[in-house]
Amino acid sequence: MSRPREGTGVPLPLVVPAALAVAFLVLPVIGLLVRTPWSSLGEQLTAPGVGEALRLSLVSATAATGASLLLGVPLAWVLARSRIRGRSVLRALVTVPLVLPPVVGGVALFLVLGRQGIVGSWLDDAFGITIPFTTTAVVIAETFVAMPFLVISVEGALRAADARFEDVAATLGADRWTTFRTVTLPLVAPGIAAGAVLCWARALGEFGATITFAGNFPGTTQTMPLAVYLALQRDPEAAVVLSLVLLGVSLATLLLLRDRWLRGAAS
């Protein structure tokens, strides 16, 4: 009999694979750290364009997360709670960006929002708006790729949440919209937060759809992953440094937010 180990309380058959998983996930990052040219770090960091790419990455990933929240949470509700016909088909469609190679996603965005696209050509003709190769296009590409992560986590949270609370709210005079705002949303807030983090992280690392649909132009559309990829073509050391910057900033942001949430929840 393998009893849970004293102290850790984790059974051995779980400890070993879990430790392997940690090693598998962390070792590549350690590999990056080992390869980092620490002596030239300062020089690489202050190289022109790095700060710009970093700022653009953070701004566009945050905007994409905001757009995903605005559109994705209602979609998750529809998937989890409504009884509309073809819901399973809808769910499958929502997850398409997860399996679609991001570059193909970028091409697909062109076909809809590009100058020749179904919607894009109309925008161009009617308002003189062209989306490709703008920062807006970066946000759109990132939203396209990252929103499914949010939708899936929020839908899971909604399914796990006790729907009887919504019945209680109804018996207390709350219509469905009030119920959603005052009961459902706060109940699944942790799930929404987790989904938003996942979404933000995915948007921050987005490469394929962005470089295809938004292109790569320093200051307008060149995000960190694009800068990293191009640096890799010429100077792998610079690419390592840029990757570390992206890694460090995203980790710091998430830890900071988590800290804030934990404190908020405790008070």
Continuous segment of H or E residues that includes residue 110: helix 102-113
Closest CA to 240 of 25, 71, 28, 16: 28
Cα 213 to Cα 110, 113, 116, distances in angstroms: 6, 9, 13
105 binds other proteins (CB under 8 A): no
Sequence-ordered list of residues with C-beta below 8 angstroms from that of 170, at least 6 positions apart, any chain: 176, 179
Q: Which stretch binds other proteins (CB under 8 A): 10-18, 38-46, 78-86, 159-167?
A: 159-167
Q: Could you tell me which stretch among 17-25, 75-83, 105-113, 198-206 binds other proteins (CB under 8 A)?
A: 105-113
Q: Does 68 bind other proteins (CB under 8 A)?
A: no
With contacts defined by CB under 8 A, name the span among 24-32, 57-65, 145-153, 215-223 that binds other proteins: 215-223
Please tell me whether residue 178 binds other proteins under the rule CB under 8 A: yes
For residue 27, report the phi and psi dihedrals to the nearest 5 degrees. -55, -45
Among 4, 40, 182, 262, binds other proteins (CB under 8 A): 182
Q: Which residue, 95 or 182, is less far from other proteins as judged by CB?
A: 182
Binding test (CB under 8 A) with other proteins, winner from 12, 22, 70, 111: 111
| 167 binds other proteins per the rule CB under 8 A | yes
The single residue among 32, 41, 180, 229 that binds other proteins, judged by CB under 8 A, is 229
When binding is defined by CB under 8 A, the residue of 83, 85, 164, 263 that contacts other proteins is: 164
Long-range contacts (CB closer than 8 Å, 24 or more residues apart) made by 242-249: 242/44, 242/50, 242/53, 243/32, 244/32, 244/33, 244/36, 245/45, 245/50, 245/54, 246/54, 246/57, 246/204, 246/205, 247/29, 247/32, 249/54, 249/58
- If DSSP codes are grouped into helix, strand and coil, which group holds residue 161? coil
Integer angstrom CA distances of residue 49 from 52, 186, 226, 253: 5, 41, 12, 21
Q: Per rule CB under 8 A, is residue 110 in the interface with other proteins?
A: yes
- Residue 48 touches other proteins, criterion: CB under 8 A: no
Q: Which of 69, 232, 247, 257 binds other proteins (CB under 8 A)?
A: 232
**What residues make contact with other proteins under the rule CB under 8 A?**
107, 110-111, 114-116, 130, 132-133, 162, 164-165, 167-175, 178, 182-183, 186-187, 189, 211-212, 214-218, 221-222, 226, 229-234
